[in-house]
Amino acid sequence: MRWKTNPKVLTAQCLAEFMGTMIYVYVNVMSVGTGATGVAVASGLLYTLMILGPGQLSGGIFNPAIGLGFFIASAGQIKIITFLAFLLSELLGGLAGAALVRICLTSADYSNATMTEGVLSLNLATAGIGGGFMIESILTFCLAMAVYVTLANGDWKQHAGWGPVAVGAAVCICTLCGYDATGACMNPARALGPAVIASFYADVNIAWAYHYIYWIGPGVGAVTAAIIYRVLHFLSDQEKQEED
Amino acid sequence: MRWKTNPKVLTAQCLAEFMGTMIYVYVNVMSVGTGATGVAVASGLLYTLMILGPGQLSGGIFNPAIGLGFFIASAGQIKIITFLAFLLSELLGGLAGAALVRICLTSADYSNATMTEGVLSLNLATAGIGGGFMIESILTFCLAMAVYVTLANGDWKQHAGWGPVAVGAAVCICTLCGYDATGACMNPARALGPAVIASFYADVNIAWAYHYIYWIGPGVGAVTAAIIYRVLHFLSDQEKQEED
Amino acid sequence: MRWKTNPKVLTAQCLAEFMGTMIYVYVNVMSVGTGATGVAVASGLLYTLMILGPGQLSGGIFNPAIGLGFFIASAGQIKIITFLAFLLSELLGGLAGAALVRICLTSADYSNATMTEGVLSLNLATAGIGGGFMIESILTFCLAMAVYVTLANGDWKQHAGWGPVAVGAAVCICTLCGYDATGACMNPARALGPAVIASFYADVNIAWAYHYIYWIGPGVGAVTAAIIYRVLHFLSDQEKQEED
Amino acid sequence: MRWKTNPKVLTAQCLAEFMGTMIYVYVNVMSVGTGATGVAVASGLLYTLMILGPGQLSGGIFNPAIGLGFFIASAGQIKIITFLAFLLSELLGGLAGAALVRICLTSADYSNATMTEGVLSLNLATAGIGGGFMIESILTFCLAMAVYVTLANGDWKQHAGWGPVAVGAAVCICTLCGYDATGACMNPARALGPAVIASFYADVNIAWAYHYIYWIGPGVGAVTAAIIYRVLHFLSDQEKQEED
């Protein structure tokens, strides 16, 4: 998320966020049949490729929660119009990705099961509502921290280019940690798209059950990470000034 | 796919394409018993090694659909004789790979099951014919785009050498996405070889059922990717000229 | 583990060790449901990220057994106060990681099963007590050797930066080797935290059964590795002097 | 395999081969319980680490078949005493690795099952004797070719250091291809050690059934690869001379 509101640049960035989020949701849902390790490997590798590809234009966020964290941590440097444009692009990308899944898996039963199995069905027997919220918060906190440390301000090229790989590894790790309990969503766009599409064909109650957890959990996690990152950055800047 | 028709160079390139496709089909089929994650890891790593090995001579295509995309996108730069020689080498390579599998798995039942399980048996219960076509198109589109962006014109050495790794990662991701529904073939040579060999021993109807999907799907996906890549390239060249 | 006792530096290092060990235990326990390969991939990737992140401050140990090896091998260079501060930080980190798991998995049954399944339940049918001790010793020996060779004295940047990746790979390999028999703990902090938390809710006898193996095994392995590393280093230094 | 017979250097090289083969066999056998993907990941990563570690001294062979290929392809440059010393070190290393497994898995039944499941039990239902021989030959051919191309003459540092990673990837791919049918041994030292140890405790007929396949298959594959590599090298040298 760079700080420009030049309309041409912003359009290209929004297109990049739309594309990246669409492909991420498509891959994350389509690989559900291969189990936790398959989903984690596919999602992690894809995140790295998406940051290296369309992310060169937009910073590689693909996640409204992490975008919100960026917006708050920037303390006014990111204009609200940029934030909202990114948010909308990511939510529409998630919707497009889920629609692609629906077109590919023509069996309504299977397609809906696939879309809801991964994320939308909180495993009440293991985590419960409070646990699900905690898991989504903690995992998104870790992922967001990895993003802020390595990709913030687009300066990951200074880290010998390993930033996108580190973020992909974080996606893989977090997916393995949370897959059984909550599906390791960590991304409201990942939750909204499949829920909307599934509610056309499946039981609406199932499609939207506990949906709010996938907004509040990631949101709280990413914003907390952004604030802590900002404070640490501020303290370290202050220390440098004192040394001078 | 370099643009040479020097007979000696072309022969070496065709040999490289034959070898690469043969080993790819052999690995893709032989690893079926290890499940989706095993096939995806083996195929992805192999694609990277094959691009780094024989691909140094030929550009590392190993796929008639992606070759067709290159041919169309080159707008005449690639002669039709080069395209046809690559196509033939890849199809023969796929045939040789499937024959190697047949020699290694001496049980006819097991060998045919292995060869058809991975790719040739479209899972009608989950995807159906239309869905199968869409999946093969979308996955081949993504793979082809990764190839065109990082390997086109053999200039991947400019991208710090990460092109072959990115293409291997794309093969791994796409395999995980499509394995359950269509086998994630994305390659007519991968489909033709096992179908020919299996039809000697197994029920011909099973071996060739829905075979056309594995030609039309990847073909449409790769050609679409090639055209979009070409248009984007053209627009970006034009923009640069305007800036000068 | 750097050799400083400056209180400010030491506090930062202890905080880094606490954070790293906490996240490691959390990831190692939370991913248990994905099976041996999932745990191995998650733990290996995380170890690499933790060494690259908080490990920049503290050396990236996160393991009392490997810390003890460092202390003995340093032959007085590391002060005992540093060693004890690291030890305490790591044990508290393991406790905090296990507490986080308990908060996330609100079902007591499931949470305790997850915490004890991975590490605390020695598989008597396959390894027995003696075998369990041997496995923990050998695996920790290998892991510690990888750490000492690539990370000792914080000079891994001389090895083209591959040290943290090599240690992560060692964690992944060792986890796959020992997962079925002992859970591949290799770390007293990994064992203590879940045992303490589980004993609040589950049968105390189950939580602490064979607990001493996860202290003695890793301890013997890491100290042996440290002594061998030290002797090899000493011999190679002596040889260089003779050559001069 | 460097071309020295200096006794001190040769002793260090043999020790490195012994250590590397011992750990390889230990890891390959101990990870059997995690399934094909687990064994493939563990073995591949370990091979890379062993080449980077002890392999810096000895060239990183750890395999009598690949050593035989090196010896024949060197056309007299490698003395027979070097070849035999390497061979003996590798076979003793395999024996020591299997003995370590036996010490760790104190249940005789489990330990023998583990040792024989991975490699020594040819799956007659899928491959048969002829197929098993072909699989071991083809996989060892591919692995040996990867070794000769990237590591021969110890000049892999010229390939930007990626040689050891490529060989590890080849081990991972070949393991996934052959695991179901023959166990993907590709290494007589891997076969001999577990067979000797298992025959102390288990039915001797089971321990040694089809054992010769794991010598002839890899031997034929590696020697064929060595000859082809040698011829290609010779032709390319001749071409360069003609160009001068």
Residues in A whose CB is inside 8 Å of some CB of B read: 23, 26-27, 30-31, 33-35, 37-39, 41-42, 45-46, 48-49, 52-53, 100, 103-107, 110, 161
Evaluate whether A181 touches C29 at the Cβ level (below 8 Å): no
Per this entry, what is the length of chain C? Answer: 244
Q: How far apart are CA D205 and CA D209, in angstroms?
A: 6
Residues in CB range of B138: below 8 A, 6 or more apart: A26, A100, A104, B221
- Residue C204: give its domain's CATH number: 1.20.1080.10
Residues of B in contact with D35 (CB under 8 A): 34
Q: For residues C194 and B113, which has the higher predicted lDDT (pLDDT)?
A: C194
Q: Which residue has the tokens 């793979």?
A: B143
Q: For residues A106 and D117, which has the higher predicted lDDT (pLDDT)?
A: A106
Tell me the mean pLDDT in the region D37-61. Answer: 91
- Taking one residue from C and the other from D, the number of pairs with CB-CB distance under 8 angstroms is 82
Degrees, nearest 5: CA angle D101-D103-D106: 100
Spatial CA neighbour of D42 closest among B175, C184, A45, B32:
C184
Following DSSP, what letter does each residue of chain A receive, concatenated? --S---HHHHHHHHHHHHHHHHHHHHHHHHGGGGHHHHHHHHHHHHHHHHHHTTHHHH-S---HHHHHHHHHHTTTSS-HHHHHHHHHHHHHHHHHHHHHHHHH---HHHHHHHHIIIIIS--TTTTHHHHHHHHHHHHHHHHHHHHHHHHGGG-GGGGTT-HHHHHHHHHHHHHHHHTTTT-----HHHHHHHHHHHHHHS-HHHHHTTTTHHHHHHHHHHHHHHHHHHHHHHHHHHHHHHH-
Instruction: Tell me whether residue C1 is in a domain.
Output: no
Residues of A in contact with B149 (CB under 8 A): 53
Residues in CB range of D48: below 8 A, 6 or more apart: C169, D164, D165, D167, D168
pLDDT of residue D237: 74
Tokens standing for residue D72: 């024949």
Residue C123: pLDDT above 80? no
Residue C21: pLDDT above 90? yes
Residues in C whose CB is inside 8 Å of some CB of D read: 35-37, 40-41, 125-128, 130-131, 134-135, 138, 142, 146, 149, 160, 162, 166, 169-170, 172-173, 176-181
- Name the phi and psi angles at A75, rounded to 5: 50, 50
Which residue among A35, A39, A45 sits closest to B172, beta carbon to beta carbon?
A45
The percent of chain C in helix, strand and coil, each rounded to the nearest 5, is: 80, 0, 20
Average pLDDT, chain D: 85
Residue D135: pLDDT above 90? yes
Lowest mean pLDDT among A188-202, B227-241, D49-63, D81-95: B227-241
How far is residue C73 from each of residues B5, C170, C232, D136, measured CA to CA in Å? 64, 21, 11, 44
pLDDT of residue C233: 78
Minimum CA–CA partner of B167 in chain A: A49
Residues of C in contact with D106 (CB under 8 A): 127-128, 130-131
Residues of A in contact with B181 (CB under 8 A): 30, 33, 104-105
Q: How far apart are CA C29 and CA C233, in angstroms?
A: 36
Q: How far apart are CA C81 and CA C101, in angstroms?
A: 30
Residues of D in contact with C160 (CB under 8 A): 161
Spatial CA neighbour of D195 closest among D29, D47, D38:
D29
Instruction: Tell me whether residue D107 is in a domain.
Output: yes
Query: With an 8 Å Cβ cutoff, are C26 and A126 in contact?
Result: no
Question: If pLDDT is split at 50, 70 and 90, which confidence band does A209 have?
Answer: confident
Tell me the mean pLDDT in the region A39-43. Answer: 96
pLDDT of residue B122: 62
The string of pLDDT tens digits covering residues D164-204 is 899 999 999 999 999 888 888 999 999 999 889 888 877 77
Minimum CA–CA partner of D31 in chain C: C177
Residue D136: enclosing H or E segment and its boundaries?
helix D128-151
Tell me the mean pLDDT in the region C26-43. Answer: 92
Q: State the smallest CA–CA distance between residue A25 and chain B in angstroms.
A: 11
Which residue among C26, C45, C106 sits closest to A130, beta carbon to beta carbon?
C106
- Domains in chain A, number: 1
Residue C137: enclosing H or E segment and its boundaries?
helix C128-151
Degrees, nearest 5: CA angle B60-B144-B114: 75
pLDDT of residue A154: 47
Residues of C in contact with D102 (CB under 8 A): none
Q: How far apart are CA A132 and CA A122, in angstroms?
A: 7
Minimum CA–CA partner of A33 in chain B: B180
Instruction: Tell me whether residue A118 is in a domain.
Output: yes
Residue C146: enclosing H or E segment and its boundaries?
helix C128-151
Instruction: Please give the torsion angle defined by the CA atoms of residues B231, B235, B240 and B241, in that order, rounded to the nearest 10 degrees.
Output: 100
Q: For residues B124 and D36, which has the higher predicted lDDT (pLDDT)?
A: D36
Is ipTM beyond 0.90?
yes
Q: For residues C231 and C202, which has the higher predicted lDDT (pLDDT)?
A: C231
Residues in A whose CB is inside 8 Å of some CB of C read: 35-37, 40-41, 125-128, 130-131, 134-135, 138, 142, 146, 149, 160, 162, 166, 169-170, 172-173, 176-181
What is the tally of helices (H) and strands (E) in chain B?
11, 0
The DSSP 8-state label assigned to residue B187 in this structure reads: -
The string of pLDDT tens digits covering residues A8-34 is 889 999 999 999 999 999 999 999 888
pLDDT of residue C224: 96
Q: For residues B164 and C205, which has the higher predicted lDDT (pLDDT)?
A: B164
pLDDT of residue D156: 45
Which residue among B33, B100, B106 sits closest to D130, beta carbon to beta carbon?
B106
The string of pLDDT tens digits covering residues B48-94 is 999 888 888 888 899 999 999 989 888 778 889 999 999 999 999 99
Average pLDDT, chain C: 85
Instruction: Tell me whether residue C73 is in a domain.
Output: yes
Residue C154: pLDDT above 50? no
pLDDT of residue A233: 78
Evaluate whether C229 touches C152 at the Cβ level (below 8 Å): yes
pLDDT of residue B157: 47
Instruction: Tell me whether residue A158 is in a domain.
Output: yes
The string of pLDDT tens digits covering residues B102-142 is 888 877 666 666 666 655 566 666 778 888 999 999 999 99
Evaluate whether D172 touches D43 at the Cβ level (below 8 Å): yes
Minimum CA–CA partner of A150 in chain C: C53
Residues in CB range of A238: below 8 A, 6 or more apart: none
Residue A4: pLDDT above 60? no
Q: How far apart are CA C4 and CA B230, in angstroms?
A: 59
Residues in D whose CB is inside 8 Å of some CB of C read: 23, 26-27, 30-31, 33-35, 37-39, 41-42, 45-46, 48-49, 52-53, 100, 103-107, 110, 161
Query: With an 8 Å Cβ cutoff, are C37 and D33 in contact?
Result: no
Q: State the smallest CA–CA distance between residue B86 and chain A in angstroms.
A: 28
Query: With an 8 Å Cβ cutoff, are C177 and D53 in contact?
Result: no
Instruction: Please give the torsion angle defined by the CA atoms of residues A148, A151, A152 and A157, in that order, rounded to the nearest 10 degrees.
Output: 140
Please give the residue range of the domain that contains residue D108: 7-243
Query: Residue B2: helix, strand or coil by DSSP?
Result: coil
Evaluate whether D210 touches D122 at the Cβ level (below 8 Å): yes
pLDDT of residue D125: 66
